[in-house]
Amino acid sequence: MIKSIKELYTRAIVRRPGRNFAGGITTSNLGKPDFSKALEQHAAYCEALIKCGVELTVLDADERYPDGCFVEDTAVVNSRVKVISRPGAASRRGEEEEIARVLAGYGLTEAITAPGTLEGGDVLRAENHLYIGISERTNEEGAGQLAEILAKHGFTSSVVPVEAGLHLKSDIAYLGDGNFISTPVFSHVAGLANTIILDPDEYYSANCLRVNDYLLIAKGFPKSKRKILDLGYNIIELDMSEFRKMDGGLTCLSLLF
């Protein structure tokens, strides 16, 4: 049984998409994203975070990195320690440098070093336990380094093989209050906790984001929305169509602490 711990987020870091956003890495086969629409969706996302009570740091787009708006992958952050990642995708290495400079102003930072690779999309926090996905982007060395750092700061962790899909959090999210939402393949992760199991046509909706008293969910998935509402959550629905085209989701667009 996961013990719910009330820990409010007070800050978030986001980065605007660049004009070359469509040049990023994707396997979705959903077509080219509309840049203007992506900017509108990103602005709505930022407004939602503010409604959730966090202070935003908004970084300008860095067009050296088409995937740069997906800041989640550059670090694993919490109130005790900020861990700078080492992206598994070579084209994304360097995105973490500005994030490291920003996070240095908010307490202790540590970093994943070669040959370790780690992307934040593979790290799922459920209260004081973190699940670390071993994927094409996060290797065992990177996961081991993160586990050691987390242990020093009072967290437990475990590894989860990600045999298909981009990141662990593409398929499972912790909603808070002991509840998870997941595609069937990762439903075992939560153990005895309550888990919403998604239908095949709504797998994308697994990527939810709990921010204080609200749960951000992707718009357009009525079955998962109903199951979430039945659990009593205050939801904010956001259109994520252009980010979905680039294999991105709600968690990908911010670093919360």
pLDDT value at residue 191: 79
pLDDT at residue 1 greater than cutoff 80: no
Decide the pairing of beta strands 214-218 and 235-238.
parallel
168: tokens are 């662990």
* Of 241 and 190, the one with more pLDDT: 241
Q: What is d(CA 72, CA 60) in angstroms, rounded to the nearest whole number? A: 16
pLDDT > 90 fraction of the chain, expressed in percent and rounded? 93
Q: Which of 46, 52, 69, 167 is catalytic?
A: 167
Domains of the chain are 11-256 (3.75.10.10)
Q: What is d(CA 214, CA 121) in angstroms, rounded to the nearest whole number? A: 20
List pLDDT tens digits, range 88-120: 999 999 999 999 999 999 999 999 999 999 999
List pLDDT tens digits, range 71-84: 999 999 999 999 99
What global pTM score does this model have? 0.95
Looking at the chain, list the stretches that DSSP marks H as alpha helix, in order from N- to C-terminal side. 35-51, 95-103, 140-152, 222-230, 241-244
pLDDT value at residue 52: 98
pLDDT value at residue 74: 98
184: tokens are 């069937």
167 carries an active-site annotation: yes
188 carries an active-site annotation: no
Q: What is d(CA 214, CA 163) in angstroms, rounded to the nearest whole number? A: 31
List pLDDT tens digits, range 190-218: 876 799 999 999 999 999 999 999 999 99
Q: What is d(CA 115, CA 83) in angstroms, rounded to the nearest whole number? A: 16
List pLDDT tens digits, range 115-162: 999 999 999 999 999 999 999 999 999 999 999 999 999 999 999 999
Q: Which of 46, 69, 208, 252 is catalytic?
A: 252
Q: What is d(CA 42, CA 199) in angstroms, rounded to the nearest whole number? A: 27
